[in-house]
Structure 1
Amino acid sequence: MINIESVKGKIRYFAKENNLSTQEVLQMYFFERFLERLSKSEYKKNFVIKGGLLISSLIGVENRTTMDMDTTVKGIPLEEKLIKAIVEEIINIDIDDGITFEITGMEHISEDDDYDNFRISLIANIGKTKNLMKMDITTGDPITPREVEYRYPCIFTNEDIEVLAYPLETILAEKYESIIKRNISTTRMRDFYDIYSLYTLKEKAIDFETLRTAVIRTATKRNSLEILKDSEEILNDIRDDRYLSNLWDVYINENKYIGDLAFDKTVDVLALFSEKINL
Structure 2
Amino acid sequence: MTRRPALGLPHSIQVRLKAKAEAEGRPFAEVLDLYGIERLLHRLGRSEHRDQFILKGALLIRHWLGSDTRPTRDIDLMGPAPLDGPRVRQVLVDVLKTAVEDDGLEFDLASLRVEPIREASLVPGYRAKFDGFLGQMVIHY
**TM-score category (smaller protein):** 0.7 to 0.9
Q: Distance in 1 between matches of 2:71 and 2:40?
A: 16
Partner residue of 2:84? 79
Q: State the Cα distance separating 1:61 from its structure 2 match.
A: 5.2
Aligned residues: 131
Which segments of 5 or more consecutive residues in structure 1 lack a partner in the other structure?
134-279
TM-score (norm. length: structure 1)? 0.44
Please tell me the residue identity of whatever aligns with 2:96. Answer: I
Partner residue of 1:36? 42
Higher helix share: 1
TM-score (norm. length: structure 2)? 0.83
Q: Does residue 94 of structure 1 match 2:94?
A: no
Q: Is the 8 A contact 1:107 1:119 kept in 2?
A: yes
Q: State the Cα distance separating 1:129 from its structure 2 match.
A: 0.8
Q: Is the 8 A contact 1:37 1:90 kept in 2?
A: yes
Q: State the Cα distance separating 1:112 from its structure 2 match.
A: 5.9
Judged with a 3 Å threshold, the aligned counterparts in structure 2 of structure 1 residues 5 and 34 are, in CA distance, closer, same or farther, namely same
Aligned 1:54-203 pairs, distance under 5 A: 54-60=60-66, 62-74=68-80, 77-95=82-100, 96-103=102-109, 104=111, 105-110=113-118, 113-133=121-141
RMSD: 1.9
Which segments of 5 or more consecutive residues in structure 2 lack a partner in the other structure?
1-7
Partner residue of 1:237? none
Q: What's the secondary structure of 2:108's corresponding residue?
A: strand
Identity of aligned residues (%): 27
Q: Distance in 2 between matches of 1:83 and 1:89?
A: 10
Residue 53 (structure 2) aligned to one of 47, 61, 72: 47
Q: Is the 8 A contact 2:54 2:78 kept in 1?
A: yes
Q: State the Cα distance separating 1:60 from its structure 2 match.
A: 3.3
Q: Is the 8 A contact 1:80 1:118 kept in 2?
A: yes
Partner residue of 2:30? 24
Deviations 1:138-197 (A, max 9, x none): xxxxxxxxxxxxxxxxxxxxxxxxxxxxxxxxxxxxxxxxxxxxxxxxxxxxxxxxxxxx
Higher strand share: 2
Q: Is the 8 A contact 1:79 1:116 kept in 2?
A: no
Q: Distance in 2 between matches of 1:53 and 1:61?
A: 10
Please tell me the residue identity of whatever aligns with 1:99. Answer: L
Q: Is the 8 A contact 1:99 1:126 kept in 2?
A: yes
Please tell me the residue identity of whatever aligns with 1:5. Answer: H
Partner residue of 1:8? 14
Structure with more relative contact order (C-alpha pairs < 8 Å, separation 6 or more): 2
Aligned 1:228-243 pairs, distance under 5 A: none
Please tell me the residue identity of whatever aligns with 1:108. Answer: P
Larger radius of gyration: 1
